[in-house]
């Protein structure tokens, strides 16, 4: 028997970007484990990716190109050859791109976070054609823009140093579910005497295990942050020197914060005045104090402002001076691989190409004449995009030509005209940045492609040739692309540049980042300071100071839709990935709606009743779970289930809206009012 181990990278949209060790016996991957030599991974993977072989060798894996034989959405397909698939696609697309290339829309996200199988040849292909541009807003754009306006980019503390923090505020993150390697670090801090505080409307698994859980009302975090500032300012718990040297607009922020007494915030946030006062005291007096801020706070109307308010806190207390103090939401701008070189935006020459917001794909597809053809890869929009009724209606259009590159027949693939089988991470090369830590991780193929599956890059190379595109940039090999990803001015100038040799040898390499990036200021904003007041926001006609912006759809007893619904990730799924992996689905059970005993009693609900969750946008059926994990006035539908596995063929996104956040044009998944009724 021939047994080897291959170093890889977890491809999923998760801040941990683990280094993988895959065991291969006679060409078959038998085990995927965490690399013990990679400090962040520490030899441990989450339950999902520990079962990656179950996903790769799944009996439902797409192994051949398919064409649709039944109505859109029916899932009736028949096997065809690659030749027929590519010829059919080229035949359909050629007349469109000849006269109106901007009617072709790429739709992709982070099914793989790999820089090569993500947006390399694919983006060059769409750029050279002059296709519509996709505004990639669905996940982190509100918070990302907010960090940019405040700190100058997606930058912050290095994850490992939270181990030395004495106070950790986990703000809008269910770390045990979505950032398990951070949780390990937080546990280490706890053993060293740190106090853990969780701010989350839901009593999550993480909240259960923290010293204090503040069950805030959804979408009210800016009010809480402003009242913490109020306390810091009125008690003079400030680092005046840091504020004077490294911040912009303190006087204006001071005035704003003084309007937010703990009493006022307690009312808005549904918290106790004493808890707010105590948190402010602890935040000011415990050093070092780190805030693990996460995306849960930025999925409502005022999400950008909430992130801005929270990101201002460490500059007020000078927490940045210590490497275990500050805030971390995303670290993705610390390590800068050469995405521009891979994607070549300079090749795009069609001034008519519109920017289409992926978060409002429902509206885009229902706008007459906007999109005639779509190529979907690395994403499952029919399941994950908001306001599914409109998304489905758009995908079901008879006059829309849709190609989907996938591993499985997802809800989206069901609406394709042609489905193309793509390789998984075990079958291709790739290279990864992380948005949690600051290492780059290399992925080597461990096994040969399954069936007739091809890499995304190869599919776009072949499609380019079929479309008659001759630019040699479209035929670069994955190996060439890997090298391109490491060529950038930033890399050449840095003291310890990441090299391919290092990556090949260890599987990962640390990007050079200062331990305490803002200890001496140096924020990459226009002013070089932490910008409490943002001229850039003012120039866009937006409020330059962080403010509290109430939800579009707050919970309100007297409203037709009185319950605020949030739909954060389930632990054993990764967005809509893994929902079809039987053992993982078994752990999640079935689609559930968590509802507080009080709200259940008001509706005569019994635990386990089937319920209808509805609003003006749609109706979703699932099982009620009566639990105090949901606070009164709020329900929780953990996501993101495949629609076709749900009771009435829908999921939570049947209810979410296409309204957008204050910054970043991002979706408001957690700002969504519903009503619940028993189906008994
Ligand atoms: N197991 C697993 N891991 C994942 C994912 C997954 O699907 N499954 N998804 C990945 C992806 S794409 C992302 S973007 C990240 C997301 O992970 P996080 O960045 O942690 O964000 P969310 O999971 O959206 O929300 C985290 C917590 O915020 C809470 N929350 C909701 N609304 C509010 C609010 O208004 N205020 C506050 N303070 N908290 C709120 C939710 O109850 C939830 O517990 O996780 C990644 N990791
Ligand atoms: N209600 C609600 N909706 C949400 C969220 C929420 O919290 N609540 N979270 C939102 C967030 S944060 C995000 S990031 C989005 C995520 O939305 P998506 O980025 O669409 O993520 P997934 O649902 O995991 O779908 C990724 C798909 O890519 C495929 N894939 C993976 N690797 C490859 C590959 O190498 N090649 C090809 N061709 N395909 C591949 C997988 O099989 C999978 O079907 O969902 C958003 N939707
Ligand atoms: S999903 Fe996250 S925790 Fe799980 S293996 Fe991948 S990077 Fe690691
Ligand atoms: Mo995300």
With a cut of 60, say whether residue 263 has pLDDT above it. yes
Give domain status of residue 533, yes or no: no
Give domain status of residue 538, yes or no: no
Mean pLDDT throughout 41-57?
97
Count Cβ atoms below 10 Å from residue 465 Cβ, excluding itself: 14
Give domain status of residue 545, yes or no: no
**Ligand 1 binding pocket includes 297 (Cβ within 6 Å):** yes
Do 157 and 105 have their domain in common?
A: no
Average pLDDT taken over every residue of the chain: 96
With a cut of 70, say whether residue 284 has pLDDT above it. yes
Check which CATH number belongs to the domain holding 32 and give it: 2.20.25.90
| Rounded Cα distance, 546 and 226, in Å | 8
**Ligand 1 binding pocket includes 670 (Cβ within 6 Å):** yes
In our burial notation (b when 16+ CB lie closer than 10 A, e otherwise), range 50-63 reads ebbbebbebeebbe
**Centroid of ligand 3 to alpha carbon of 9 (angstroms):** 9
Check which CATH number belongs to the domain holding 392 and give it: 3.40.50.740
Question: Taking a C-beta distance cutoff of 8 angstroms, is the pair 226, 262 a contact?
Answer: no
Do 164 and 303 have their domain in common?
A: yes
**Centroid of ligand 2 to alpha carbon of 59 (angstroms):** 21
Do 372 and 424 have their domain in common?
A: yes
Rg (CA), the chain: 25
| Rounded Cα distance, 669 and 661, in Å | 10
**Ligand 1 binding pocket includes 578 (Cβ within 6 Å):** no
**Ligand 3 binding pocket includes 45 (Cβ within 6 Å):** yes
Count Cβ atoms below 10 Å from residue 170 Cβ, excluding itself: 30
Give domain status of residue 541, yes or no: no
| Rounded Cα distance, 554 and 218, in Å | 8
**Ligand 1 binding pocket includes 16 (Cβ within 6 Å):** no
Domain edge (last residue) among 475, 510, 545: 510
Do 366 and 504 have their domain in common?
A: yes
Neighbours of ion ligand 4 (CB under 5 A): 139
Do 493 and 591 have their domain in common?
A: no
Residue of 320, 342, 249, 331 whose CA lies nearest to 293: 331
3-state secondary structure of 235: coil
Do 480 and 444 have their domain in common?
A: yes
The DSSP bridge pattern shows strands 212-214 and 508-510 to be unpaired
| Rounded Cα distance, 590 and 364, in Å | 31
Question: Where does the pLDDT of residue 639 fall: very low under 50, low under 70, confident under 90, or very high at 90 and above?
Answer: confident
**Ligand 3 binding pocket includes 46 (Cβ within 6 Å):** yes
Percent over 90 (pLDDT), the chain: 96
Mean pLDDT throughout 165-179?
98
**Centroid of ligand 3 to alpha carbon of 41 (angstroms):** 8
**349: buried, middle or exposed (CB in 10 Å: 19+, 13-18, 0-12)?**
exposed
Residue of 530, 544, 148 whose CA lies nearest to 312: 530
| Rounded Cα distance, 90 and 40, in Å | 44
**Centroid of ligand 3 to alpha carbon of 34 (angstroms):** 9
Give domain status of residue 528, yes or no: no
pLDDT in tens, 470-487: 999 999 999 999 999 998
Closest-lying ligand 1 atom to the alpha carbon of residue 218: 35
Q: How far is CA 94 from CA 41, 100, 177, 405, 453, in A?
A: 46, 10, 45, 19, 24
Residue of 260, 376, 268, 272 whose CA lies nearest to 309: 260
Q: What is the pLDDT of residue 1?
A: 80
pLDDT in tens, 342-352: 999 999 999 99
Q: Cα-flanking dihedrals φ and ψ of residue 381, to 5°?
A: -60, -30
**234: buried, middle or exposed (CB in 10 Å: 19+, 13-18, 0-12)?**
middle
Domain holding 568, by residue range, is 563-678
Do 234 and 250 have their domain in common?
A: yes
- Which ligand has the minimum distance to the alpha carbon of residue 181? 3
Domain edge (last residue) among 56, 79, 98: 56
**Ligand 3 binding pocket includes 17 (Cβ within 6 Å):** yes
pLDDT in tens, 135-153: 999 999 999 999 999 999 9
**Ligand 3 binding pocket includes 571 (Cβ within 6 Å):** no
Check which CATH number belongs to the domain holding 242 and give it: 3.40.228.10
**Centroid of ligand 2 to alpha carbon of 385 (angstroms):** 9
- Which ligand has the minimum distance to the alpha carbon of residue 421? 2
Domain edge (last residue) among 280, 303, 329: 329
Do 601 and 461 have their domain in common?
A: no
Q: Cα-flanking dihedrals φ and ψ of residue 422, to 5°?
A: -110, 155
Question: Taking a C-beta distance cutoff of 8 angstroms, is the pair 21, 5 a contact?
Answer: yes
Do 605 and 500 have their domain in common?
A: no
Residue among 177, 199, 296, 671 whose CB has most ligand 1 atoms within 8 A, to mutate = 296
With a cut of 90, say whether residue 495 has pLDDT above it. no
| Rounded Cα distance, 221 and 75, in Å | 43
Total of domains in the chain: 4
**Ligand 1 binding pocket includes 661 (Cβ within 6 Å):** no
**Between 470 and 494, the higher pLDDT residue:** 470
Mean pLDDT throughout 99-122?
98
Give domain status of residue 170, yes or no: yes
Do 411 and 491 have their domain in common?
A: yes
| Rounded Cα distance, 661 and 135, in Å | 14
Do 150 and 129 have their domain in common?
A: no
| Rounded Cα distance, 327 and 312, in Å | 9
| Rounded Cα distance, 573 and 584, in Å | 7
**Ligand 2 binding pocket includes 568 (Cβ within 6 Å):** yes
CA quadruple 136, 174, 411, 660: dihedral positive or negative? negative
Mean pLDDT throughout 377-393?
98
Do 299 and 428 have their domain in common?
A: no
Q: Cα-flanking dihedrals φ and ψ of residue 43, to 5°?
A: 75, 5
CA quadruple 628, 633, 639, 642: dihedral positive or negative? positive
The DSSP code for 58 is: -
């Amino acid at each position: 028997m021939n047994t080897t181990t291959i170093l890889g990278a977890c491809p999923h949209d998760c801040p941990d970007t683990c280094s993988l060790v895959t065991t291969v016996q006679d060409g078959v991957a038998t085990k995927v484990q965490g690399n013990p030599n990679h400090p962040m991974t520490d030899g441990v993977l989450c339950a999902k990716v520990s079962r990656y072989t179950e996903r790769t060798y799944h009996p439902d894996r797409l192994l051949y190109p398919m064409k649709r034989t039944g109505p859109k959405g029916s899932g009736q397909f028949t096997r065809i050859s690659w030749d027929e698939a590519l010829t059919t696609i080229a035949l359909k697309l050629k007349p469109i791109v000849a006269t109106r290339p901007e009617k072709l829309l790429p739709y992709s996200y982070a099914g793989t976070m790999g820089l090569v199988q993500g947006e390399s040849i694919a983006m060059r292909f769409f750029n050279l054609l002059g296709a519509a541009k996709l505004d990639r807003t669905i996940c982190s754009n509100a918070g990302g823009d907010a960090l940019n306006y405040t700190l100058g980019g997606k930058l912050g503390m290095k994850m490992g140093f939270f181990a030395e923090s004495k106070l950790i505020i986990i703000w809008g993150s269910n770390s045990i579910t979505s950032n398990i390697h951070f949780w390990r670090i937080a546990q280490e801090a706890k053993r060293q005497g740190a106090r853990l505080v969780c701010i989350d409307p839901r009593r999550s698994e993480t909240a259960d295990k923290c010293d204090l859980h503040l069950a805030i009302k959804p979408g009210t975090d800016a009010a809480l942050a402003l009242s913490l500032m109020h306390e810091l300012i009125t008690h003079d718990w400030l680092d005046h020197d840091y504020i004077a040297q490294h911040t912009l607009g303190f006087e204006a922020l001071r005035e704003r914060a003084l309007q937010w007494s703990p009493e006022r915030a307690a009312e808005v946030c549904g918290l106790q005045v004493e808890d707010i006062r105590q948190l402010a005291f602890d935040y000011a007096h415990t050093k070092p104090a780190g805030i693990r801020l996460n995306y849960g706070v930025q999925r409502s109307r005022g999400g950008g402002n909430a992130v801005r308010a929270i990101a201002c806190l460490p500059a007020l207390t000078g927490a940045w001076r210590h490497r275990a103090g500050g805030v971390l939401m995303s670290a993705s701008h610390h390590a800068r691989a050469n995405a521009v070189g891979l994607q070549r935006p300079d090749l795009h020459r069609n001034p008519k190409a519109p920017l289409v917001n992926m978060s409002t794909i429902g509206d885009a597809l229902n706008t007459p004449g906007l999109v005639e053809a779509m190529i979907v890869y690395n994403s499952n929009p029919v399941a994950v995009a908001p306001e599914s009724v409109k998304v489905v209606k758009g995908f079901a259009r008879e006059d829309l030509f849709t190609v989907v590159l996938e591993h499985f027949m997802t809800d989206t693939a069901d609406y394709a005209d042609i489905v193309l089988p793509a390789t998984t991470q075990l079958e291709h090369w790739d290279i990864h940045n992380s948005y949690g830590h600051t290492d780059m991780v290399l992925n080597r193929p461990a096994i040969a492609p399954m069936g007739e599956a091809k890499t995304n890059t190869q599919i776009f190379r072949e499609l380019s040739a079929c479309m008659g595109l001759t630019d040699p940039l479209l035929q670069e090999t994955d190996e060439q692309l890997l090298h391109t990803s490491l060529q950038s001015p930033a890399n050449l100038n840095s003291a310890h540049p990441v090299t391919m040799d290092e990556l090949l040898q260890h599987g990962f390499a640390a990007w050079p980042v200062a331990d305490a990036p803002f200890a001496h200021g140096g924020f990459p904003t226009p002013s070089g300071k932490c910008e409490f007041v943002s001229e850039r926001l003012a120039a866009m006609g937006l409020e330059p100071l962080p403010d509290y912006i109430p939800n579009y759809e707050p919970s309100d007893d007297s409203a037709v839709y009185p319950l605020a619904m949030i739909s954060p990730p389930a632990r054993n799924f990764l967005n809509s990935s893994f929902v079809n992996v039987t053992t993982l689905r078994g752990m999640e059970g079935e689609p559930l709606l968590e509802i507080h005993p009080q709200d259940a009693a008001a509706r005569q609900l019994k635990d386990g009743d089937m319920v209808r969750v509805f609003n003006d946008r749609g109706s979703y059926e699932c099982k009620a779970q009566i639990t105090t994990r949901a606070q009164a006035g709020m329900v929780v539908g953990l996501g993101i289930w495949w629609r076709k596995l749900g009771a009435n063929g829908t999921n939570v996104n049947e209810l979410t809206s296409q309204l957008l956040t204050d910054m970043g044009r991002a979706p408001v998944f957690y700002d969504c009012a519903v009503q619940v009724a028993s189906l008994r």
